[in-house]
Amino acid sequence: MLENHFQFLYKILLLNLFCLHIGFVFALLIGLHPTVAFSSAKKEMIDELTPMVVTAKGGFPEPLNSTAWSITTLETEAIKGNARSLPEALSGIPSIMVQKTALGQSSPYIRGLTGYHNVLLVDGIRLNHSAMRSGPNQYWSTVELFGSERVEALRGTHGVLFGADAVGGIVNSLFSEPQYSNQKKTRSFEALGRASSAENSWSAGFSAEVSSPKWFAEISHIKRSFGDLEGGKKVGRQKNTGYDVRGSQARLSRKLTEHANLIFGIQKNFMNDVPRTHKTIDGLTWEGLSPGKEIWRRIDQDRNLYYGRLAWDDIEGIANSGILTLSLHTHDQERNRMKGNSGVATGGDLQTFNLEDIGLTARFVKEDFLQGSLAYGAEWHQEELVSSGYQFDANGHRSISLVQGPLAADAIYNRFATYFEYKHAFDSGWSIEPGIRYSAIKAKLRKFYERNSDASTLYAPEEKTYEEMIGSLRATKQINEELFIFSGLSQGFRPPSLYDLTSTDETSAVERPNIKLDPEKFLQAELGIRGSTGSWEWQTSYYHTWIKDMIVRSPVESGKSDVLKSNGDGFIQGVELELGYQWTPSWKSELSFSWMDGEVEQMLDHNASGTVAINGRNYLPVNRATTRLMPVQAKFSIQYKPVGSNWSSALSFLGVSEAKDLSLKDETDVSRIPSNGTPGFFLANIYGNYDLSENSSICLALENIGDVDYRVHGSGLNGAGRNVILSCSLVF
């Protein structure tokens, strides 16, 4: 064990030394000479007045009102007091449904897709890895909001820039830009406290910043403790749902020139004994749900990110702007469960995986390239996975070691990609943006084959390789100062991951490894319009996603938990609307709406003509709704902030329709989804805020005023009942 710690520290030392070396070598090579050739007074004025986003361009800023993508920005300062986690902060955004498997396991569905079909970024660094599960997963809850500046949620397929998994959308948790001081040294500190009645929770955190003309450092730490969640007036206390979590972040920035920074960062998050109750005897019977037989099931997650980055802009050379990032991402998970019969423990198992992901990403932009601008770059990741487990008896005594854990006992997953994206603006107001990406993936599975007894692996190759070339074409037009049109065709893809190829145990089902799966392919068309006039502002879009060879999990047999993995075709389509109106300088209203429809080919356990024989059983291919298809959702809010006053308030309403279009797998998930579908619900919330000083505030919220019993479609527990949240942020 001690030797492993020394090896880990050695890798961290090499990572930082290598990144430091890269930074100064590039500084010498490109000279980092500033130039004003790529800016103008008009552009600077637009940048100052218009909110900027960076995710759609891979880390380079562009005005929000003229981006070619549907994107929503959330300022952490405004949501950190009420939002309990990063996924739940996304609730209410069009085409985003935040499913909660457990109180500490939330996962957003973005345009009908979740899990490894969406990309999660921290400061632009990819957190997706080959062990990430297909369905709603617990990994997004490990990203702490406190310490970040804002969250950008991009909806839509963006495979050219972000590669595999970027199908439903991308969520990017971003830190603030380094703030260097003109004085010799400046300091600031923040303390955050939060308490919630229905969550029986408390949170306490602090952050600090120190800056000088050449250096900027920041650090934050927060601990959160959650008790059993109180549901609505009929459900009441939901037993064994509480958990603890802690998160720390630190960054050190060095100003190389006025146009270049070198940054080192660390992020550490640990979630302790997060329970999942819907598969246990503590599961709810609400609306006819059937609790599971397990006595308990708990998950620990320990996720760490270490990175170094060199970033520059507005310089001369082949890359006027650039971002070079070297990262080490480690993710350890331990799942512990006790099985039972009629409430009596019968024995259980512990399964773990440990994943290390070393990544190197290079992104560049060249302005004035063939009368346009060229974005290009490359990305490389090497993931090393180790998985193990053992069984124990009813008294917790270890008995049998497992051949592997939830994934391959030992495997390596390599990714390499390069991309080019060109943008050209015409005098007519039209802009086009074609792009192309080449990706190569290799899965090394020799030790998995050696240890797995499945006959299908006896003559399989020791390596699985996948190559993919995808493209995109976006087109926009600035009709006038008040109206902007965006459209596009964007391809996405996802090669089978280590989870797809080697998993034996899904959260609500039993799987078999399948090394014969084909890569998934997607094509999304989108047409949208955004604008503003007078007191109005709006954005609306329609999208249609064609699905080819999506890896679908269908029940092997009715009433059983075993699933069959196969490739299927289908589609997802939807409409999104965001509308805002400024009634007076003090009053503002906002409305958001989304509608979605979709289906994908699945395998129905059936003995009839036209069936397909798989593993000795007959299945009938059928088109059914995609898993946990999002119901119609609408959110309305009205905000009041008197001009010149220190206080503000808001009233919001969220309405969600009944979810009754179910996939075959949904129909068997009787511990989470009622047999007739998930009922619709309507929630009312009220919020108040008082500014104690320029940077300090106190917030009071009353959520679910009607104490409604409700459940987000596909969740493993009900939402909070009537909930009082008190939070306070003090900056000094």
Which three-class secondary structure string do you get for 548-587? EEEEEEEECCCCCCEEEEEEEEEEEEEEEEEEEEECCCCE
Cα separation, 479 vs 485, whole angstroms? 7
- Could you write out the DSSP letters of every residue in 80-115? TTT-SSHHHHTTTSTTEEEEEEETTEEEEEETTB-G
Cα separation, 377 vs 421, whole angstroms? 9
Q: Tokens at residue 656, please?
A: 């969600």
Mapped onto helix, strand or coil, the DSSP state of residue 303 is strand
Cα separation, 146 vs 125, whole angstroms? 18
Q: Is the pTM of this model over 0.85?
A: yes
Judge contact between 48 and 61, C-beta under 8 A. no
Q: Tokens at residue 205, please?
A: 């955190």
Judge contact between 335 and 504, C-beta under 8 A. no
How many CB atoms are closer than 10 A to CB 550?
A: 23
The Cα-based distances of 604 to 558, 664, 675 in angstroms read 9, 7, 17
Beta pairing, strands 169-174 & 118-122: parallel
| Residues of the chain scoring pLDDT < 70 | 1-49, 447-461, 505-514, 557-561, 607-617
Contacts within 8 Å (CB) and 24+ apart, 45-54? 53/152, 54/124, 54/152, 54/172, 54/174
- Sign of the torsion formed by the C-alpha atoms of 402, 335, 517 and 447: negative
Beta pairing, strands 62-63 & 398-401: unpaired
Cα separation, 283 vs 71, whole angstroms? 36
Cα separation, 563 vs 566, whole angstroms? 10
What is the radius of gyration, based on Cα positions, of the chain?
Answer: 25
Judge contact between 494 and 116, C-beta under 8 A. yes
Q: Tokens 């109750």 map to which residue? A: 277
In CATH, what number does 2-731 get? Answer: 2.40.170.20
> Any residues with CB less than 8 A from the CB of 28 and at least 6 apart, and which?
none
Cα separation, 235 vs 169, whole angstroms? 34
Judge contact between 352 and 389, C-beta under 8 A. yes
Q: Tokens at residue 663, please?
A: 């996939």
- pLDDT for residue 83: 87
What residues does each domain of the chain span?
2-731
Cα separation, 34 vs 486, whole angstroms? 33
Cα separation, 109 vs 630, whole angstroms? 8
> Any residues with CB less than 8 A from the CB of 245 and at least 6 apart, and which?
104, 141, 223, 224, 226, 269, 270, 271, 272, 274
Judge contact between 519 and 548, C-beta under 8 A. no
Q: Tokens at residue 389, please?
A: 């487990």
